[in-house]
Structure formats: C-alpha cells, structure tokens
Structure 1
Amino acid sequence: MNGSDRVGRRALLAGLAGLPLLSPLGAAAARTAEGVAEGAAGAPVDLSLVLAVDASASISRNALDFQLRGHAAAFRDPRVAAAVARGGHGRIAVTLVQFAGPDTLTALVPWRLVSDAADCTAMADAIDAVPGIAMGGSTALGSAIVAAVALIERAPWRAARRKIDLVSNGFNNAGIDPLSARAHAAAAGVTVNALAILDEFDWLESYYAENVIAGEGAFVRTAAGADDFAAAFLSKLMAEIA
C-alpha cells in the first residue's frame, strides 16, 4: 500500500469513527456516562480502558456469563486496586461493552472512575448487575475496535494511556477489516490488546497477534475456557493497568 492509500484509508476510518456506531442502548448509556461524569470532566486519569466482550453467535449464554463473572472477579481482587493506586494520578476510567456484528457495540457499564478498593468493588457489582444478552450473529472485531476508539475519544477524562481490551473466541467475519481497524486505533494512539478464548479455534492467539492487536506493548493472552478465564483476565487486566 502506498502513502496516499494509507492516508485515504485513515481518513475513511476517521470518518467512520465519527458516526453513531453504538446501538441505541449503547448510545443512551454513553449519554448517561457523560452526565454522571460532568463534574469531573477534563480531569486527568492514568488510563482510559474499554473492556469489550464478545456476545456473537459463537458465544453461548454460559460463555457470556463466565466472561462477565471473570471481569467482576478481577475487580474484586485487591491487587487491581493496588495497581490503580500506583499510577501517577491514582485513578483510571473504565467502561464495559459487548459486541457481535457491525454497529452493535453496546455499553453495559458506562464510563466510571476507579481509584480505590471501594470503586473496584462498585465496578464489580455493576458488572454483576448487567443484563448481558447473547446477541447472536456475526463477529465484527474490526467494527468493534473502531467503535471502541470513538467511545474512548468521547470519554470525559484526559487519559495518559488509552486501551481496548478485546475478549473473543472467534475471528472477524463481518464489518470493517481488522487490519484497517487496528491501523486506525494505532493512529489514534489507542492500544488494542486481546484475550483469546480457545474453546473453538486453537489458532486464535496467532490470528489476533497478526490481525487485531495494535500499539506499543500490545499483547495477546489466552484462556482455554471457563475454568481458567478468570485467572487469565485478571493477569491481563493487571498488565494493562501497570
């Protein structure tokens, strides 16, 4: 690809990122988050983190449940609060979303500040309370990345680092090409990391490394399934906060 093609693709993706890619539910949740955070708008945080979980046809209701329970368990681990406290500002901004096909990114837990053990527990409680619904349909990893970048760019806090934590057990089969999406994320200064659930495809680790992750220090972690997901996600979350 020559330089003009790269510029054209980047401009196209930048335009896509400005479109309302959230579902109606997700857009409402984003507006709610902006309202809640109004008093702290512009405050600096060490990290803005989008936690994105797969809810496509390859994800059973049980698989979605263990993703959500694993996320909640991680925030209840005291090591997460300790890692947050070690940051220069001592606080991070976090939102939890789910996705399936193109234009389906939906906020489950709107943006919130996390700065201590009480905030971590509140985040865990919020995750436990969400009605995670298996969406079915295709797996649009690239579209989810572009929509998550847009969500980060609308976040009400100034972040030293910006990251997307993508969890899935599938490969891209609809929507924006993930190679284009990760180039868009990198150009926006957003790191994309992945946690591959290997219950269907044992080659996903290399697929995500070659097609999905982006940014300095980006990485892929793996989980075989429900039994080791929580531990794998905790390890990944700690690495992202550090």
Structure 2
Amino acid sequence: MMSGIFPTTPSVPRTAIMAAALLLPAAAAADEPVDLELVLAVDVSLSMDMEEQILQRDGYVRAFLDPLVIQAIESGPHGRIAVAYMEWAGAASQIITLNWTLIDGAASAADLSAALAEAPISRLRRTSVSGAIDFARSMFRDNGFQGLRRVIDISGDGPNNQGGPVVVARDAAVADGITINGLPLLANPAGPLSLFDLPQLDIYYEDCVIGGPGAFLIPVHSPQEFAESIRNKLVLEIAGVPEPPAVVPASAAAPRIPCDIGERQWRMYMDGER
C-alpha cells in the first residue's frame, strides 16, 4: 500500500526514507544543445597599440549586429550557438571578458554586442599563443553546452614567444576534437619592422597554429580590415563546412617557418640584438 510519495513498512519508518532521499544527489541537468561552442581568443599584447585594440574590439562588437552573422546562427540545425570572449597575452595572462553566452537570434546577439562594447580592454605583456590555446581548451569543460562543433578562434599579431611549444598546444586541442581557426594581423611590409615582427605571420599561423576539421585563417593586412575580416570569419565558423578537409599537424610535416621562431626572436632580444 502506498501512502503519499514514499512507501512505508513496519521495518522502514517514513522519516528514515525521507532522510535517505535528501542525501541522494540531484540529477545532473543536461547540457544545452547548440550548433557551435566558440571561444574568441583575442590578442591584447602590448605589441598592438591602443588604436589597434579599439578597432579590433569594435570589429567584434559590430560583427554580432551584422545580419549575415545572425542569419548564419539561425540557419543551423539548432538555431543557436554558445560564445565566450577571452583576451590573452603572456603564458599566464588570460582574462575571460565575457563568459559563455547563448546566442539564438538578433536580440541575444545584440545583448552580447552591448556587453562587449562596455567591457574594458586589457593590456598585457608577452605573446603566448600556446597559453591562449591551452586556456581556451580548458573553457570547454563543464561549460553547460553540448555543441555539434567546438572551435577556438585565435587572433594575434605575432608568433609564440613564451610558454610551451605552440604545436604541442595545438595538437592537444585537435586531439580533443577542437578546431582552431586563425586571424593573424600582418605587419605593414612598407613600414619599419621590429625584431618581433614576422611578415609571414599568415604562413606561421597556417603551419603552426590552426588545426582540426575545416580549420582556416583569414589574414588581416591592416587594423582597418578588422571589422570585415571578423564578420567574414564568424560567418564561416558558424556555418561550418559540410566536408572539412584534412589538416596535417605541424609535427607531421615540416613547417615553412620554424614554429619556434618567436622564441628565437625573444632570445635574440635578450641577447641584445635589435
């Protein structure tokens, strides 16, 4: 015979059953299904001046208001994505500017754009692409979302010069099923180059940074191109590709530029070369 919710028997008092029920762990909530989990990993190292930083941030603010980006989001199987915005520089310098946010249309995209516009821009030292990848990789764990794809979108104006080897971080993320796309900001070839500039940064990103199914990069030739490049990149990332090409890890093929070129540049600087 049942009495209320809990059955009672002479040998098991109701109070004992209720107490035991209170000790049982609550069922874990299911992760929110989305088409894409996307970490925007944005370089804020001191090699970029404040004007460039503002143009870069404004590019992301404007992108989430763009009809093409909204259309790409709404056209997916679930019609929604999850986005986090992280700023990075040195090996231990990563700041989550905006934590994971669900975007399912123009209204939520506008909210993210407004929050991003109001957030301060960090200014940090050194350049650790490997540190940025490792940190972004950790952000996918227990984030409350279950995406059909997971992508790290990393922008930067220089090669890795601090932290672990970039190819090790890249290959670990790819092994987790994460795709890494790139937005390298190229140095002006007509202007004076510093020791830390790498004119072939797009080749470095292609051979040493990006990886995983469908990985791609969009080079930025001037800060004025940020807005259009960011918009185009987001549309491609959100839409995905039906049959992604195979990407050969840098560890399996000789890169055209040494993947430790940034570390070499830093050692030259420390040795007094200018």
TM-score scaled by length of structure 1: 0.81
Q: How does 1:188-227 map to 2 (within 5 A)?
A: 188-199=176-187, 200-227=197-224
- Quickly say closer, same or farther: Cα 1:40–1:241, change in 2 above 3 A: farther
Confirm or deny that 1:187 pairs with 2:160.
no
Partners of 1:131 and 1:106 in 2: how far apart?
Answer: 11
Question: Structure 1 stretches (4+) deviating beyond 6 angstroms?
Answer: none
Aligned equivalents of 2:51, 2:198: Cα separation in 1: 18
The residue type equivalent to 2:33 in the other structure is P
Name stretches of at least 5 consecutive residues in structure 2 with no aligned partner. 1-27, 188-196, 240-274
Partners in 1 of 2:165 and 2:142 — Cα distance? 23
Distance 2:145 2:29 in 1: 7
TM normalised by structure 2 equals: 0.72
- Secondary structure of the residue aligned to 1:221 is coil
Deviations 1:83-123 (A, max 9, x none): 11111111000011100101221110111000001111111
Answer yes or no: is the 8 Å Cα contact 1:59–1:134 preserved in 2.
no
Higher RCO (CA-CA < 8 Å; seq separation 6+):
1
CA distance in 2, matches of 1:41, 1:129: 32
Q: Distance in 1 between matches of 2:52 and 2:224?
A: 11
1:166 to 144, 150, 154: 154
Contact 1:213 1:220 in 2 (8 A): yes
More helix by share: 1
**Which residue identity is paired with 2:180?**
V
- Measured against aligned partners, the alpha-carbon deviations of 1:208-233 in whole angstroms (never above 9, x if no partner) come to 00100010110111111221111011
Aligned counterparts, 1:137-156, within 5 A: 137-156=125-144
> Aligned-pair distance for 1:202?
2.5
In the alignment, what sits opposite 1:236? Answer: 233
Alignment of 1:57-136 (within 5 A): 57-135=46-124
Report the identity percentage.
Answer: 36
Greater Rg by CA? 2
Tell me how many residue pairs correspond in the alignment.
Answer: 203
The 8 Å contact of residues 73 and 230 in structure 1, kept in 2 or not, is answered as yes
- Report deviation, 1:41: 5.5
Tell me, yes or no, if the aligned pair for 1:193 and 1:219 is still in contact at 8 Å: yes
- Unpaired runs of 5+ residues, structure 1, are 1-38
Shift of 1:40: 7.7
* 1-structure distance, mates of 2:104, 2:199: 37
> Over residues 28-75 of structure 1, what are the superposed CA-to-partner deviations in whole Å (9 max), with x where a residue is unaligned?
xxxxxxxxxxx9861110000000110112121222111110001110
